[in-house]
Structure 1
Amino acid sequence: MAPAEDDISIEEKRVYAGTAGRTDAYVATGSGVVRVALSADKVGAFDMVAREPARDVAVLPRDDAPDLVGIATPDGLRVAPVGDDPEFDPIAADADPVVAVGVHDGAFLLAGEDGGIDRIAIGGAASDPTATSIGTVSEPRAIDGPLVAAGDGVYQVTGSDGAGGELGLTAVGLDDARDVAGAGMPLAATGSGLYWLGNGWMTALEGTAEAVAADGDGHAMAVVDGDLRLHTGDAPESEVSGWDAETWRIADLPVDEAAVALGYGPGISVVVTAAGTLCVDAGDGWRHQVVGVRDVAGVALAVVE
């Protein structure tokens, strides 16, 4: 993979990481998972760390062990500790094809091709997971936090396995949900528009919404009618109009390419395009790096340093 103009060397990456910290972006693609090292808006080394089709990716934070990266594959969930040399191992508790993966309440949430939603809790050893079936949806597409996007609408995980409560799924409305954001204000991207959850689902933007992500602090990104829209979080969430159309603006990406995967890390926004370009903004505008992959399915960010 040839570096782009604004790529930096490994030595430079280490300098930046020492001052701004390092975050790794894991990009799920049809040919595997690409890891891209970031330090604020500086793009460092990138490499292929898994070489099987990945339909989605999520990072599970842990307090007493390294964070885990989970990828959804046709052969089940694969996980690896965050680090310099991740090795993705299968989770024996789930060998069926997985179409989406997310994290909630200290565990992975998986969506299978058959519509089954499972919770996979992993202790200190990835080889000893605990699987709990939560329910079933029609045509699952994405998971974020407690929300599941499906062909027949949005679902929410209820209960808490850690508190001994019975886990379940509750249908919470809408139709043809393509993506969801469960951090902070609940958001849903659907075939008829982007919605936020107020007194019921309220329209944020009309059009065909394909992707959405949020940082839980009032910032969000969404792809609507092919445009990348940004919500800056300037308006208080307590205001009814805080998520309406006038609070979103079109992003000025440095490349004329369709945005397909969106993610947030500490102080940074990340967009990956259909052409395989990763764009990152740390508050001073977008920088980009061509990572040379196609069939981009998702992106997740992990703090390394």
Structure 2
Amino acid sequence: MSAEKDITLDEKRVYGAKQAETELFVACGVGLLRVSVSDALVGEFGLVHRGDVRDVAASDGVLVVATDEDVLLGVADGAEGDVTFEATGFGPAVAVSARGGPTASDGGRIARYVDGAWETTAELGGVRALDADLVAAAGGVHRLDGTPLGLPGARDVDAAGTPLAATDDGLYYLGNGWMRAVESAAGGFRVVSSDDTGERAHAAGEVLYERGGEGLDADWTPVDVPGEVVDIAHAETTYAVTREGTLWAFDPAESVWRDRTLGMPDVRALAVVPRTA
């Protein structure tokens, strides 16, 4: 399946001329949005795929995109930022992961993409998120093969470094069993994310939190970022996106968060692809 060819010029906007070093991909109800960024500076952005996109993940320059029709694999051109997609035959999906190879779920079936085909690893109810070999589901955190790891009401997981889990009643890390890092207020935690080394970590419920260190006992502190943050990604700096379509980027030079409205509502997920050229 080729990339969408009917994206018009008026669907692209430019906010600065500095050369982008990173591409962000934002999943929303109208499609997949590509956003060029350099630290906290937002450059050109526009749709690269039309349709209902439910989730997106990236690793090693490969995008895994969950849509209401299929799971797509996308390859981003490191020099130009173009993306080409191919269908995989999975069918409609609600959650995907790219870390360790493409995985996907339709909310019940979990499968890994191996040698051009999907291999089912488990059947679970209420799957909400995937990351590497971890699954967040209504019944708790599981391995890809369905092995239960506890924590009912899991909404998101992060497998980089020390595993983290966002649940209905708090934010947890895996130490001697699951240990609570932050007790949530009403609404619970929706999302948790760390960089590939596990050194930087953020989580969000009604409030965005950042971890103040690398140790298991490091404090998590609130960040003054308004809006319902639905996903977080890490590259040269940290990015967060709200359901209403506001992109927040941490400016390391000024130690402040800066925002940019993307003009795309019903945002679901965020993934980052570093530029290779």
Q: Contact 1:218–1:232 (CA<8 Å) still a contact in 2?
A: no
Report the secondary structure of 1:292's partner residue.
coil
TM-score (norm 1): 0.80
Unaligned runs of 5+ in 1: 62-66, 123-128, 158-167
How far off its partner does 1:154 sit? Answer: 0.3
Report the secondary structure of 1:221's partner residue.
strand
**Change in CA separation of 1:139 and 1:44 when aligned onto 2, cut-off 3 Å:** same
By percentage of residues, which structure has more helix?
1
Aligned counterpart for 1:102 among listed residues 64, 82, 97? 97
Q: In 2, distance between residues paired with 1:121 and 1:278?
A: 34
How far off its partner does 1:8 sit? Answer: 2.9
Q: In 2, distance between residues paired with 1:171 and 1:201?
A: 13
Q: In 1, distance between residues paired with 2:49 and 2:69?
A: 13
Q: In 1, distance between residues paired with 2:209 and 2:198?
A: 16
* Map of 2:183 onto structure 1: 206
**What are the within-5 Å matches in structure 2 for residues 236-275 of structure 1?**
236-237=215-216, 241-242=217-218, 247-253=219-225, 256-265=226-235, 267-275=236-244
Cα RMSD after superposing both structures: 1.7
How far off its partner does 1:130 sit? Answer: 2.9
Alpha-carbon deviations, 1:136-189, whole Å to 9, x = none? 1111000112211001000123xxxxxxxxxx3311111011111111111111
* Map of 1:64 onto structure 2: none
Instruction: Read off the aligned partner of 1:182 and give its amino acid letter.
Output: A
Q: In 1, distance between residues paired with 2:68 and 2:154?
A: 22
How far off its partner does 1:79 sit? Answer: 1.7
Report the secondary structure of 2:120's partner residue.
strand
Asked if residue 173 in structure 1 is aligned to residue 150 in structure 2, the reply is: yes
Q: Percent of aligned positions with the same letter in both sequences?
A: 33
Aligned counterpart for 1:155 among listed residues 132, 142, 163? 142
**What are the within-5 Å matches in structure 2 for residues 93-242 of structure 1?**
94=90, 96-105=91-100, 107-113=101-107, 115-121=108-114, 129-157=116-144, 168-207=145-184, 208-215=188-195, 216-224=197-205, 226-233=206-213, 235-237=214-216, 241-242=217-218
Alpha-carbon deviations, 1:112-146, whole Å to 9, x = none? 23x11100136xxxxxx132211111110001122
How far off its partner does 1:262 sit? Answer: 1.1
Report the secondary structure of 2:18's partner residue.
helix
* Map of 2:262 onto structure 1: 291
Instruction: Read off the aligned partner of 2:275 and give its amino acid letter.
Output: V
Unaligned runs of 5+ in 2: 1-10
Aligned counterpart for 1:13 among listed residues 9, 15, 18? 18
Q: In 1, distance between residues paired with 2:95 and 2:246?
A: 22
Q: Contact 1:58–1:299 (CA<8 Å) still a contact in 2?
A: yes
Q: Contact 2:88–2:117 (CA<8 Å) still a contact in 1?
A: no
Asked if residue 278 in structure 1 is aligned to residue 272 in structure 2, the reply is: no
For these two proteins, the number of residue pairs brought into alignment is 257
Instruction: Read off the aligned partner of 2:242 and give its amino acid letter.
Output: T
Report the secondary structure of 1:169's partner residue.
coil
Instruction: Read off the aligned partner of 2:210 and give its amino acid letter.
Output: L
* Map of 2:7 onto structure 1: none
Report the secondary structure of 1:183's partner residue.
coil
Instruction: Read off the aligned partner of 1:44 and give its amino acid letter.
Output: G
Instruction: Read off the aligned partner of 2:203 and give its amino acid letter.
Output: A
TM-score (norm 2): 0.87
Alpha-carbon deviations, 1:243-278, whole Å to 9, x = none? xxxx0111123xx3221111112x211100122011
Q: Contact 1:185–1:218 (CA<8 Å) still a contact in 2?
A: no
* Map of 2:5 onto structure 1: none
**What are the within-5 Å matches in structure 2 for residues 41-56 of structure 1?**
41-56=40-55
